[in-house]
Amino acid sequence: MEYFLTEQQKTIKNLARRIAEEKILPVRAELDEKEEFPWAIMKELANADMFRVFVPKEYEGLGGGCLELALVVEELSRVCSGIAVGYAATALGSFTLIGYGTEEQKKKYLPAIAGGKLAAFALTEPTAGSDAGAIRTTADKVEGGYSLNGTKQFITNGGEADIYTVIALTDKSKGPRGASAFLVDKDTPGFTFGKKEKKMGIRASATRELVFRNCVIPETNMIGKPGRGFIMVMKLLDLSRPGVGAQAVGVAQGALEAAVAYTEQRIQFGQPLAALPVVQDMLAGMAIQVEAARALVYAAARVVDSGAYDYTESSAMAKVFASDVAMKVTTDAVQVCGGAGYMKDYPLEKMMRDAKITQIYEGSNQVLRNAIANDLRKRKAKA
Amino acid sequence: MNVVVCLKQVPGTTDVKIDPQTNNLIRSGIPNIINPFDTYALEEGVRIKERCGGKVTVISMGPPQAGQMLREAISLGADDAVLLSDREFAGADTWATAYTLAEAIKKLGQFDIVICGRQTLDGDTGQVGPELAEMLGIPLVAYVSRIEELSDKRLQARRMIDEGHEVIESPLPVVITVTKEINVPRLPSLRGIARSQSAVILVWNTQQLGADPSKVGLSGSFTKVVKIFFPQRACQAEVFEGELEAQVDRLIDRLKSAGLI
């Protein structure tokens, strides 16, 4: 379907596809199997200027928005969403800085990110997942800065990234209103890495614990004002969710293409599987779902890029719908390919495993449906 | 270090079809690409620039649409591009091509190293690089698989030969032709693509080049293509099908009847 992308957007999408097909395709199965972080691919992405896409022009970026980022994430995810996540999480780890950082902070960190240094975003803790307000990591005011103490869990790019955006409580008594955001360099004393998680899918991505023990960071590394941490985080996640939607669209697209290719060449009952009406019905259903998800993700990304004040609902809808589509389409793709779909020699079982996370992270689909319903009720109450 | 890289636009296929009526290559429907061997030459040129400073100028002799290929070269790291394009250049053999490229390189002025791919996908002769060195009056190192050392005055390169490789030293300026072992060409970058879209491609014709019209194109070519044809198959193969044992029996019968066993 025609989405009326600009020439620059098409260039970005095409180059991302080329990298995915030429560099990622040959290694995706091995990296998934070994749970190995794709440093060589990150280097390729950096050389191709992909990390500049979401960085403002003033800081050596290309000044792209949510849609440009979504196009890259979609194309990479079409081949391997595990690898795409290392890239996308860097954008997530940069957005708070881009949105609320001081000139000095941006000058210090953004050109490095544009050049390919990885970033990460750290909110989740053992006691605080969907209930993000329950975080316990503290940032106490000390001489010359803040001292961080606590443990962050399930942090994408943990251990691999150089720059971390960490949410911690500067005032425990105020709960969520006492949270603040900090930039933490990887080599800061008192900052170490804990358990590296073994995962069902997106296994080429790194997911790790961050451990802070009297980790003193300079006062100048606080992003925004003290106590504004949660407001910034909520805004950040609204902004980044179309990216998860794009990841989901990419996986679903990859699965659809693999299913079409396999069912065309697999002969049963004297004809290709794709000639059977039951299979055609499934393939058509998958194609419709993928296209609808893409349309919603691009639309939400455009809302974000338009400078709209509130895009919680659009962004949540895009993420929820696209991730449910990804799970359904990858499952159906495995189904139409039968035994082959289930085997590791084919890419579909990996895509099905990879799809699942999109329904869970950056706001589980249940939490987001709840947010959408709240908006519906609020509007009704105002009417 | 001023690097000149010679590029040729070729049909993007190794499966070239010949029109049985005209005996000409069927080019329609086949996208043009940078000659694959030349992509290694370009990559090596860009790496030399990144290591030693200076700039990379790409040149190509070809029709106006070859300008698109030169833009692609800029997206891959080249700084300047010159297209040698004139109806008079058409029909050039390797000699006339090398003459035209040599005239252009002389016109560019100061240069340290000229890099060519070892051969083209279409012509397949491997002659232009060596002829170019001859016409420029400078040394040639052909089939380079690795640059060992490069300084302001001197090149040390490993070149492939039938029995292995040898290491050659040469003063600069020098012409080298490279093999695919020398590097892995990069993909373009977004900034490179943006730069290539706004880049100015210089176009020189015979007159602008100051070349001798009798030495370019068909009139400057010593070789004349008399005929292009599909070779006749010298032998006919017969393929046996069916059960293996029956195939073996048939094979033995055929060999016996031919008096071979």
Sign of torsion, CA A26 A28 A33 A37? positive
**Any CB–CB contact under 8 A between A16 and chain B?**
no
DSSP conformation class of A250: H
Residue B178, class by beta-carbon neighbours within 10 Å (0-12 exposed, 13-18 middle, 19+ buried)? buried
Contact assessment for residue A255 and residue A333, using Cβ atoms and an 8 Å cutoff: yes
Helix (H/G/I), strand (E/B), else coil: A330? helix
Q: Per-residue pLDDT tens for B197-217?
A: 999 999 999 999 999 999 999
Q: Tell whether the model's pLDDT for residue B159 goes beyond 90.
A: yes
Q: Per-residue pLDDT tens for A323-371?
A: 999 999 999 999 999 999 999 999 999 999 999 999 999 999 999 999 9
Element (H, E) at B98: helix B94-108
What is the pLDDT of chain A when averaged over all its residues? 96
Find all residues with CB under 8 Å of A354, minimum gap 6, and list them: A80, A81, A82, A201, A202, A251, A330
Q: What amino acid occupies position B210?
A: G
Structure tokens at A224: 């925004």
- Which of A247, A280, A251, A246 minimizes the C-alpha distance to A263? A280
Whole-prediction pTM value?
Answer: 0.88
Find all residues with CB under 8 Å of A93, minimum gap 6, and list them: A118, A119, A120, A121, A157, A161, A163, A164, A165
In the block, residue with structure tokens 């290709």: A272
Residues of A with Cβ-Cβ distance to B186 under 8 angstroms = 47
**Any CB–CB contact under 8 A between A50 and chain B?**
yes
Helix (H/G/I), strand (E/B), else coil: A2? coil
Q: Tell whether the model's pLDDT for residue B23 goes beyond 80.
A: no
Structure tokens at A33: 């199997």
Contact A52 B193 (CB under 8 A): no
Rounded Cα distance between A114 and A116, Å, is 6
Q: Nearest-CA distance from A44 to chain B in Å? A: 8
Rounded Cα distance between A97 and A102, Å, is 8
A223-254 burial: b if 16+ Cβ within 10 Å, else e:
bbebbbbbbbbebbbbbbbbbbbbbbbbbbbb
Contact A15 B188 (CB under 8 A): yes
Element (H, E) at A155: strand A145-156
Structure tokens at A285: 């259903």
Rounded Cα distance between B168 and B183, Å, is 19
Structure tokens at B224: 């004349």
Q: Tell whether the model's pLDDT for residue A36 goes beyond 70.
A: yes
Q: Nearest-CA distance from A52 to chain B in Å? A: 9
DSSP conformation class of A171: -
In the block, residue with structure tokens 């860097």: A90
Share of chain A above pLDDT 90, in %: 97
> Mean of the pLDDT values across residues B127-147?
95
Rounded Cα distance between B9 and A374, Å, is 60
E runs forming strands in B1-150: 2-6, 9-11, 32-34, 55-61, 80-84, 113-117, 140-150
**Any CB–CB contact under 8 A between B189 and chain A?**
yes
Structure tokens at B174: 């020098």
pLDDT at B60: 96
In the block, residue with structure tokens 């640059």: B147
Nearest residue of chain B to residue A46 (CA atoms): B189
Alpha carbon A35 to chain centroid, angstroms: 18
- Which of B107, B151, B105 minimizes the C-alpha distance to B6? B105
Contact B187 A52 (CB under 8 A): no
Rounded Cα distance between A50 and A15, Å, is 9
| Whether A362 is catalytic | yes
Contact B186 A22 (CB under 8 A): no
> Mean of the pLDDT values across residues B176-188?
95
Query: Active-site residue among A68, A74, A160, A362?
Result: A362
Instruction: Give yes or no for a cis peptide into B31 (omega within 30° of 0).
Output: no
Q: Tell whether the model's pLDDT for residue B105 goes beyond 90.
A: yes
Contact A11 B190 (CB under 8 A): yes
Q: Per-residue pLDDT tens for A261-315?
A: 999 999 999 999 999 999 999 999 999 999 999 999 999 999 999 999 999 999 9
**Any CB–CB contact under 8 A between B184 and chain A?**
no
Q: Nearest-CA distance from A54 to chain B in Å? A: 12
Q: Helices A7-19 and A39-47, interaxial angle, to 10°?
A: 150
Alpha carbon B51 to chain centroid, angstroms: 24
